[in-house]
A and B are shown apart, each in its own frame.
Chain A
Amino acid sequence: MSKSIDQVFVNAKQWLLSWLAGSPGWVIQVVSILTNIFALLAVFLTLFALISVLERKILARIQNRYGPNRVGPFGLFQPIADGIKMLIKEDIVPARADKIVHFLAPVLIAATAILTLGVIPYGRNMTPFTIDGGILFFFAVGSTTELAVFMAGWGSNNKFSMLGAMRAIAQMFSYELPLIITVLPVVMVVGSLTPERIVAAQAEYTFGLVPRWFVFTPWGAAAFILFFVSGLVESNRTPFDVPEGESEIVAGHMTEYSGFKYATFFMAEYIGMFAISGLGVTLFLGGWHAPVRVLEIIPSYVWFFVKLSVLLFVYIWVRGTLPRTRIDQIMNVAWKFMLPMAFTCIIAAAVWHYAGRGLRGWLWSLLVIAIVYTALSILLDTRRKFAQRVYRFAE
């Protein structure tokens, strides 16, 4: 029973394809691909609408307000109202803009954001697009975003846009390095770039109780934190939203966009956030596996989306809590702290592997990370830089 619920979407697709039995192979292939694309778009556009209203509500609660509560029950129809508003707004293109580039930028940014969603396994046998080097595909397609952001900045022919695009590219470039290097230990330990294999490698449980997710090893925990912070920067979320800081440079590379094109940018940003959190779930949090063996009866995709929503909640929580950082601080942290720590994770993973992947390896890799962390904080003189601030008020 639980197995059939687990595979309900896979079976539904098989049933749909069985109608086409007898037609040539390429027809079945095309229909199969289109089904996957439609399912992916339907799920994530709904999630986007839901998250856009939930984010406003959670932020409001953090700031002691109510948030949107006028449209529909609990304000849940707010995204529909927002969508209609966005669609009927005038689409303004600046007269001196580079029209083609200005038009293509939102198209490219949304397309690449959606493409990256394709390689993530959402449940048992539920990967929309299986490819041998799935993780590499994710990053290869994701790196195209930088060019799209640049196109937006250049095409608008506006100083604010250009500045915002430069900031965005600078910070995305710097954080792509730690992001990719923190993925390497997982790839190294599993010995595969395929997301399904990585999920399968985290399937076992110690004593049937503690799952063998990579986040529960010292190198995995360190890599996950680094990955999460880099993910925050890559998706331009709040402590690192310098590229579009409203109080400084209007809206960064999106300044000259209005109406539906602006909504596309907004959507691409959220979908990029889903993709990076989904990859984090796949790599470190055991993908679609349940946290306890007994709970495996709950369908796999439910677990995936539960973990995804927890990560998304943390994203929103961080946004509601932390103020914006300065661009030079962001750069310094990337090159002086994140990158060395990311390399340390690789070494710690190797130590863990060669010490037998047991308790001994666990302690050794913890030691490696602790030593490097302490050394780095002494070298960077963090005690002085992050000392308790003394505020003097005017009297």
Chain B
Amino acid sequence: MTPTLQIFLIVSAALFSIGLLAALSRRHAIFILIGIEMMLAAANLNFIAFWRFAPKPHQPPVGVMLALFSIAISAAEAAVGLAMIIAVYRHYRTTNVDQLDQLKG
């Protein structure tokens, strides 16, 4: 059995759904961040899969480049997101997103 593009896309869809699950149903801010990272990784997997299965290979390899840039952006996002979680925790003494319901500190 050689995997086709479909199977890769289904795995990536499953990963995306799991990420969405983490982001929607957990109440801890770190879980939400983990979910977002996982969704981004699923998108990267799609980029690479489409690049690999393209009938005519591109020069430069566009899919790979997009994946590299999106990895860099998600790293920046993770750093800022975690810093925000720490800042919020210092202020409210909680990381449960349901309890962060007032704008006035």
The reply to whether A and B meet directly (CB within 8 Å) is: no
Q: Contact residues of A with B, CB < 8 Å?
A: none
Q: Contact residues of B with A, CB < 8 Å?
A: none
